Amino acid sequence: MEISVNSFVLKDQTGYHAGPRGAGDEIDKRGRWRNFYMASQIMLAPNPTRSGAIDRVLIIANGSSPEKAVVLNVDELSKNSKLLTQFNPGYHYATKFWDAVSALILVGGIVLSFVWHWWAWIAGFVIAFVIYRSNRKSVADFAKEILDNDPNAIVHFASLGLIWEINRAALVPER
């Protein structure tokens, strides 16, 4: 069964492949074509549904031509973790828990700077920021895991507008 999404075709029976096979494409242990080089890094890309605003994305497939790629918007998954609940409620609760821990550490650092050493807010800010960034990275890992384990996930994410095709030249590494 083929699913047309924003002018490119995803073949849900064969995995995430949506174009010509290229370097790094291999068959995984479930017999699906996957590009193991592409999903290893979070990239920054303009989002066509938000007037070109920059979002963090995960490359999930080759595009309709060699210079294009199919990407998943992980920024929206980070902002609205309820989108992950359908696949595993633990993803949503883990994301919310670590967001709360990060906020508590930040507030605790500020309070400690008044009652203890003045520099405690700096330590609180650094620790809270590290937890916040790790939490956002774990959402991308959750998305990769969902795409690996659920063949209908790509259809679900595409119906929410979280998947689009983009020129590879527009992709920028996050770091």
Where residue 126 falls among pLDDT bands split at 50, 70, 90? very high
Please give the backbone phi and psi of residue 17, each rounded to the nearest 5 degrees, phi first: -65, 135
Give the closest residue to 146 by CA, choosing from 88, 75, 61: 88
Where residue 14 falls among pLDDT bands split at 50, 70, 90? very low
What is the reported pTM? 0.69
| Amino acid letter, 47 | N
Q: Among 37-41, 76-80, 87-91, 169-173, where is mean pLDDT lowest?
A: 37-41
Write the pLDDT tens digit of every residue in 145-167: 888 888 888 888 888 888 888 88
Beta bridge partners of 174: none
At residue 108, the pLDDT reads 94
Q: In what order do the strands lie in the sheet with 53-62?
A: 163-167, 68-73, 53-62, 42-47, 172-173
Where residue 58 falls among pLDDT bands split at 50, 70, 90? confident
β pairing state of 53-62 and 42-47: antiparallel
CA dist 26 and 138 (Å) reads 25
At residue 34, the pLDDT reads 52
Higher pLDDT: 63 or 133? It is 133
Is 78:72 a contact under the CB 8 Å cutoff?
no
The yes-or-no verdict on residue 31 having pLDDT over 90 is no
- Element housing 142 (H / E): helix 120-149
